[in-house]
Structure 1
């Protein structure tokens, strides 16, 4: 899950307190361990000497007292049954040490790796996962989409995080790839050695990509996986992160990739700001329309295409010209209202340029709808109206936080990684400190790096998954980027699923996503 541009690349301009860091308490858990895991023997944990022990404060180098709370790496044995086949695997929860240009410790990067038994390293893919934000830990993809366990929300009330439960994940990607989930520095359990220098060293677009590339190169070397097919999987701002990391792996670490998977990605930040930008408004409209149409039943790909063509056609040209007047305005606002399901007076007030931050756009009939899924709502705490920035998002501030609670208990109780540290699921301090600039651009661009990657690596394949009802990273932004690439479009697949930003919270979409990604991994190289 990402934030939105301005603070949080998901929150379309919503300004949140920079000092607020939402984290999971280290002593809580979501549910009991599922029966499908922790075999041979249940709960047995090995604690080998880690390759690099946590830095000690008495060495005169680290200034982060929290480093001492990181335990040694924990290695556990498990098995899971997927599609009727038992898969035994080893889980490692631990840290990788990053060093600066002088060879001094710079950060401890937390990761969880799952490696299946009895696989040939040169044939078995390995995938590296990360979320976005910037400032989000990897628990969302870990326990939401691909890991051996999945966090399930009540079917009758998907916004109820208090009653979320963990169980074996029938759609785990372990069926077709080994997996390494990595927390960015400043998130999860990943810590900078020198917090005062962390923003300069890690909290920026290029620095972040280089840090991830270094961590991946270290893991590959330590685990004898340099010959394995390698993939990156990023969600939300993780789309930008995956492109920047892929480019850093190629150019800085000598590690070419087999593929990149982007889930609900932010690819070009300039397409995610709906303030006085007709193109961005047009790319948002199809997700608003799909969210409204979903109230009447499934929304077909043909219907999504219809919404897209209207948005980049007559809707966009109308916005780009002088605002319509008289009968023309009445017809235009009426059409937009019918497509989006919003009251015509709200559409007219916004002059057809619909900001999903506006309270009267998000609030209808006493319900407050989410930026992350336009079909999900909670009772509006301020149905009489309130300043836009004070309306809590049902996902960001609600059930999505259950992932922090769940991962804390899972890591401690099932993977043997116990610590008094809190797991920083969403750290707004990291987000507020983020430097989005690069190479003179006020907001770093990813498409130029994607173009170069597709040219430099003729076998690189890209899969992009979007949720139809995602108002934070609308599916149309991905389509727009792909359609405007001058090369490599035949190696990129874009698919839109029923769901929002975290499309995998819907079991059917999670299963479909796993099936589609498996096909990408098993397809012969071009």
Structure 2
């Protein structure tokens, strides 16, 4: 009997050894896929929260985690970090919005803690104190009307490739769009959200990305989006990046300079802004497009441009009306201050007053808004439970420098364009609606460019489906609490039954 029992034990051990071996092999394989920097990424963290908006309390689940990307050989190539906020008992058909920033090279913390998330970074009473910024509940969180998934593309936030040398493979218009589309498809599949109306929200280059991702989702993943919101978007590079050389680009930029001048004097006036827009595409455009004016005609023209923009008349005349970056150090003749292209109404002390050209960091992009990075890393660790020793990359200039603009949009940022993408999405998808939002005094992506693009789309595609809304402020106008509230109200209407409408001219 003992002999037979021994045989049974040996047989049992032999039977379970392969299973143990396979399990160990699987664990080893999974560990191997997370070698290098990816080994610093923890498991997904799921936490429960509540948020009060108005007179209602929203219970929601927050997930901070990663979506893994694999090559054709089944080997992991990278991980994309995301944060999802889902309302409890919201139902599988509740709207679902995927949001990302731009750069290229920017993480989603800007939109996350600046606009849509349940927590927001308060920069103090003047809205520019990054050193003492603090997280507070967001009374205008978009969680009120849509579930949210904020995505950090490869090279931003905590999204990385398995091999450092492979990161540049994602730094192009098309590969970036495909990887973000893949991440969206993975989230939809993992969370059974195929029935949800899907929306895209992108800021700056993220607006450009939204158009490309919408196409990639349709073509590669079989997912049709219901709409997109482009915030301060890049739409046409040739109209944006040559404003100091070509008449049309300069004319589309001029209204933003006029708005900034009025904002600096706390004298913004809608009627005067409309007048500036008419002048820009009228006498200003035709004068710049022709031979330089002379005599009294020249004096009157340059005086009008100077009065409208706050740039000294001699500077306007020296530049023949092409203002380019002239406003940066000459606005209102304040030699000791410098303006930011991200909001030309925002001026700070000039660190190099002896220089004829602006130097140093931008007061907005490199100033107080950098606090979004540290604030999000702390928030993710202490409130969302995502604890990693990896550095959170808010804005990576190396990604921007390495970016390849080739493909359908052209070979450089000057040829970057999503006009065709917008036309085809509107034509092929009757459910698709588009809301474009800008700040008046943004000189990085002037609202005049988007208006020009919309005005030149086929009317049959635009009517009732495309809107341009403009708000006080600059590229990140949502850092102004009252403008954030106004934009959120417009976005809420966009998600409703009613189509978006443009403000009356």
TM-score strictly above 0.5 = yes
Aligned partners of 1:370 and 1:501: how far apart in 2? 10
Aligned partners of 1:159 and 1:345: how far apart in 2? 32
Aligned partners of 2:318 and 2:40: how far apart in 1? 54
Match for 2:86 among 108, 115, 125? 115
Aligned partners of 2:442 and 2:53: how far apart in 1? 29
1:172 counterpart = 2:136: no
Deviations 1:348-400 (A, max 9, x none): 22221111277534672411111111111111111222444x24211011111
Match for 1:72 among 27, 43, 47? 43
Structure 1 residue aligned with 2:195: 227
Aligned partners of 2:391 and 2:38: how far apart in 1? 12
Q: Shift in Å at residue 428 of structure 1?
A: 0.6
1:505 counterpart = 2:479: yes
Q: CA 1:439–1:493 in 2, change beyond 3 Å: closer, same or farther?
A: closer
Deviations 1:41-96 (A, max 9, x none): xxxxxxxxxxxx9997963x67x721111111100000011111011000000000
Aligned partners of 1:56 and 1:345: how far apart in 2? 69
Q: Shift in Å at residue 103 of structure 1?
A: 3.2
Deviations 1:201-232 (A, max 9, x none): 21111111111111101100100101001000
Q: Quick check: 218-227 or 367-376, which moved more? A: 367-376
Give the length in aligned residue pairs: 468
Match for 1:413 among 351, 357, 382? 382
1:373 counterpart = 2:343: yes
Structure 2 residue aligned with 1:489: 462
Give runs of aligned pairs for residues 244-323 of structure 1, distance below 5 A. Answer: 244-273=212-241, 274-297=243-266, 299-323=268-292
Structure 2 residue aligned with 1:155: 125
Aligned partners of 2:391 and 2:219: how far apart in 1? 35
**Alpha carbons 1:54, 1:70 under 8 Å: kept:** no
Q: CA 1:323–1:411 in 2, change beyond 3 Å: closer, same or farther?
A: same
**Alpha carbons 1:78, 1:91 under 8 Å: kept:** yes
Structure 2 residue aligned with 1:105: 76
Aligned partners of 1:147 and 1:99: how far apart in 2? 29
Aligned partners of 2:73 and 2:290: how far apart in 1? 56
What secondary structure does 1:232 align onto?
strand
Aligned partners of 1:146 and 1:301: how far apart in 2? 27
Aligned partners of 2:156 and 2:27: how far apart in 1? 17
Give runs of aligned pairs for residues 430-445 of structure 1, distance below 5 A. Answer: 430-439=399-408, 441-442=410-411, 443-445=415-417
Aligned partners of 1:472 and 1:361: how far apart in 2? 18
Aligned partners of 1:426 and 1:221: how far apart in 2? 29
Q: CA 1:359–1:297 in 2, change beyond 3 Å: closer, same or farther?
A: closer
Q: Shift in Å at residue 326 of structure 1?
A: 2.8
Structure 1's unaligned 5+ residue stretches are 1-52
Aligned partners of 1:478 and 1:299: how far apart in 2? 21
Structure 1 residue aligned with 2:314: 345
**Alpha carbons 2:329, 2:357 under 8 Å: kept:** no
Structure 2 residue aligned with 1:211: 179
Structure 1 residue aligned with 2:439: 467
Q: CA 1:56–1:296 in 2, change beyond 3 Å: closer, same or farther?
A: farther
Deviations 1:443-492 (A, max 9, x none): 33201011000001011111111001111111111111111101421201
Structure with greater helix share of residues: 2
TM-score normalized with structure 1 length: 0.85
Give runs of aligned pairs for residues 323-362 of structure 1, distance below 5 A. Answer: 323-356=292-325, 359-361=328-330
**Alpha carbons 1:54, 1:72 under 8 Å: kept:** no
Structure 1 residue aligned with 2:418: 446
Aligned partners of 1:492 and 1:359: how far apart in 2? 33
Deviations 1:109-141 (A, max 9, x none): 00000000011212x101000000000000000
Q: Shift in Å at residue 300 of structure 1?
A: 4.0
Q: CA 1:319–1:502 in 2, change beyond 3 Å: closer, same or farther?
A: same
Aligned partners of 1:298 and 1:346: how far apart in 2? 23
TM-score normalized with structure 2 length: 0.89
Aligned partners of 1:65 and 1:450: how far apart in 2? 40
RMSD of aligned C-alpha atoms? 2.0
- Runs of 4 or more, structure 1, over 6 Å off, are 53-58
Aligned partners of 2:184 and 2:444: how far apart in 1? 28
Match for 1:145 among 104, 115, 119? 115
What secondary structure does 1:424 align onto?
coil
What secondary structure does 2:348 align onto?
strand
Aligned partners of 1:84 and 1:221: how far apart in 2? 34
